[in-house]
Each structure stands twice: as structure tokens, then as C-alpha cells.
Structure 1
């Protein structure tokens, strides 16, 4: 399966209704903040998987943020978004470097489109996409998986 197919499938299987509520919350739409803030219920092994996944994504985001030259801070948004994911087994958190990079680009794009008004980061973002043989359109398609039940630009 292609990198696009792997990431698309992973994101589709990890996304929950709480994920969609989180994006509505980011847009300023009225949602129950108790549901958004709580995330997905986790047992001890699920919490460990979430922590491993979040650490890898945030580590990769630090690299991407530097490559883009971004001054805006969205690390908390990324961490909050990850809390909404369903990570039922270890296969979801053991990522190859290119998978982690692409997933991080997707999470960044989905959040940045909503929260960062200055779009000067887009040119460097496209270069980051190209670094793993992907296009901005490919990353956009994956970002839409996260917000499938809400409007997305």
C-alpha cells in the first residue's frame, strides 16, 4: 500500500466523533466542552499508546515547525486532537519516520487552516509535503478524513 493509502486508512480508523467535535470547537461552533475536553475513554494500555503516539507526532512537529519557520504555537491543539483518537492497538503507534511525518503534516494542516489566519506558511508547507513525495492536495485529502462530518476548506 502507498504511503497515502496507509495514512488515509490509519486516520480514518483513528478518527472518532469526538475528533469531529473538537474541530467544531476549534471553529468556534457550539459544542459540549465536557465532551471535547474529556477525549476518548482510555485504560492504562490505551493511555500508554496515546502517550507514545503523541510524543512521536510532537517530536516530528517540532522539525516541521522549524522547516516552515512557524511562530504560531499549536502544540496544545495537536495534543488535544490526539486525545480524541481511537488507538486500539500498538500498530497505530509504531510509525515509520515517513508515516509520522505525513500524519504530522495532516494534523498540522487540519488545525492550521482553522487557527492560523496568516497563510504565509503555505509555501514552506508545500516544500515539506514534497520532501516525502506528497503534494499539498494529498495532505488536504487526508485532513478532510479527520473532519469528514464538518465543513472543511
Structure 2
């Protein structure tokens, strides 16, 4: 099938399909005498796998590492290991996000509470100081899990 049909069937832009081909995620298409790309039916399946994997949080590099040249010969143990590793990464991210949320909710509650005469900046500073009392442990964590430093 030609790239236009593949794009229509997969819902993926032709430019993205060409990118996946160039980056090694798709086998190079056969070229017709007029230069048009001709893709095998299996390419549609590979695109579905790539999109599903990306939607599950896999990077293109991770997908490239586990996607076999022949879809009928998946390395079972390697695939399971990659899936388990991704689940672990997601669980760690969930923990970090929960910690971030807890800190932000505490900050909101503290700022929102009325303590006569203290302005918003003063309340925020007091809460941040309180969070940082335990050293780095209380430092806000960015979405990527890196320690950040807030300035008041």
C-alpha cells in the first residue's frame, strides 16, 4: 500500500510515518519505479504497536530496542522485562506526583488559612520554611523527580 493509504488506515500523518521509517522503527519501504513508497500490510501492525507503546509511556528509543524485525518472533523475556520496568517507572512517577500533590495541598491550606496580619507571601514563606526544615527531604520535587528550589 502507498503511504497515503497507510496514513489513512493508521490515522498517522505521512510525515510521521516517514519519520518512523527514517529513525529505524519501520523497515524501509520498497520503492516503485516512479519512486513511490510501497508498504507491506505488516507496517500497519507495526504502527499500531508503536502508537500503543508511545501511549503507554515508552520512548522511541525504548520501542526501537524491543520491537523485533519479525513481529512473529518477539523475544518473550525481553518484552516482559521492558514492560515490568515501565510499570516500575510509572509507579515511581505516581509516588512522586502524590508527594508533590500533598505538598501543594498543604501549601494551599496554609496560605488559605487566616492567621491575622500575615500576607500571602509571608504565609508561603512560612510553609516553605516548614517544608525545608528537614533539609532536602522537604524540598519540592519537580514532575521529573528532581529537587527544586523555590524562591519567595
- Whether the TM-score (by the shorter chain) exceeds 0.5 is no
Scaled by the length of structure 2, what TM-score is found? 0.24
Scaled by the length of structure 1, what TM-score is found? 0.24
User: Which structure has the larger Rg?
Assistant: 2
Q: Structure with the greater relative contact order (CA < 8 A, sep ≥ 6): 1 or 2?
A: 1
